[in-house]
Amino acid sequence: MIRPAAFLCGALFGLGLVVSDMANPARVLAFLDVSDAWDPSLALVMLGALIPSGAAYLWIRARGTPLLAASLHIPTLRIIDRRLVIGAAIFGLGWGLAGVCPGPAIALLGTGQPFAIIFATAMIAGVLLHGLIHRPTTTTGQP
Amino acid sequence: MTLSHLAWYWPLAGGAMIGTAAGAYLLLLGRVAGISGLLARTLGMPGDGGRSSAALFLAGLALASGLAMVARPIPLPALSANGAVVLVIAGLLVGYGTRLGAGCTSGHGVCGLGRASPRSVVATCVFMLVGMATATLVQIATGGPA
């Protein structure tokens, strides 16, 4: 059950990216670029997403264990360190340049267009580069 | 590039789908559905399990959005040589930065804010502000996206 569930969750996520138009770099840039014709769509997406995501967290916290898997893997790190802030800033720089973050990058691969393939390849290279540089120093973990 | 107007309910509905997907992944599998984390896991990185689930999530994402984009195509910018260089730099920054900062728009923005993680609040503020500053400056400097 775990594998089909993972696939279906991903499928719903991908549909959401297209329905919200967040896979469209121009839509994202119209939110990030505040100089003219500001488009609030991205803020509405965050709002719409936070409600079910927050509800699921409250539910799992009360339950203790996931429905299908044996144990919960929620990040417990609470320290705000330089890595977190610098990493987020580097990500923000790349995001502001192209209007693409990791979810849309994967979604756009389906178009087969050079824009999508070049970005996703470079992004994967960036992930691998981080893996090489910061090898076994424990996991940076999830958020 | 001209951008069509998007009625407010599309982003709200799409956001609800994204949040439901991330929430269901947490509830069913007990893991955070941050795309940069899932990508690193798929590439075999954090090494604490969940690799096949991560790969299947991303496969579902790519397949479903690929099909949806047949019905609702997304116009992507044509690439000049300069544009391709900028795109490579942007992709490297996004890949490296999301791993260093341990999350992206979904991991910190949707999942982390959803559980009021202080790290995610800080990260989301930082990447939003830097993203806005970058996109706005590029727009002012070039009169159009790179």
DSSP B84-128: HHHHHHHHHHHHHHHHHTT--IIIIIIIIHHTT-HHHHHHHHHHH
Exposure letters B110-133 (e unless 16+ CB within 10 A, then b): bbbbbbebebbebbbebbbebbbb
Rounded distance, CA A85 to CA A81, Å?
7
What was the ipTM of the complex prediction? 0.95
**Which of B77, B48, B53, B104 shows the shortest CA–CA distance to A127?**
B104
- Give percent above pLDDT 90 in chain A: 83
> Does residue B44 belong to any structural domain of this protein?
yes
Rounded distance, CA B13 to CA B33, Å?
18
> Does residue B52 belong to any structural domain of this protein?
yes
Point out which residues pair with A73 in neighbouring strands. B31
Q: What is the pLDDT of residues A35-82, one digit of tens each?
A: 988 999 999 999 999 999 999 999 999 999 999 999 999 888 889 999
Instruction: Give the pTM.
Output: 0.94
Residues 3-62 of A with CB under 8 A from B: 3, 5-27, 29-30, 32-37, 39, 41-42, 44-57, 59-61
pLDDT at A38: 93
> Does residue B2 belong to any structural domain of this protein?
no
Q: Is A136 on the interface with B (CB under 8 A)?
A: no
**CA distances in angstroms from A61 to A54, B102, B111, listed in the order given:** 11, 22, 14
| B43–A74 C-beta distance less than 8 A | no
Kindly tell me if the per-residue pLDDT of B1 is higher than 60.
Answer: no
Which domain range does residue B88 map to?
Answer: 9-142
Residue located via tokens 């839509």: A27
Categorize the per-residue pLDDT at A143 as very low, low, confident or very high, splitting at 50, 70 and 90: low
Structure tokens at B142: 């070039």
Total domains in chain B come to 1
Kindly tell me if the per-residue pLDDT of B78 is higher than 90.
Answer: no
| A118–B61 C-beta distance less than 8 A | no
Per-domain residue ranges of chain A: 1-74, 79-143
* Chain A positions in Cβ-Cβ contact with residue B35 (cut-off 8 Å): 101-103, 106
> Does residue B1 belong to any structural domain of this protein?
no
- Mean pLDDT (chain B, rounded): 93
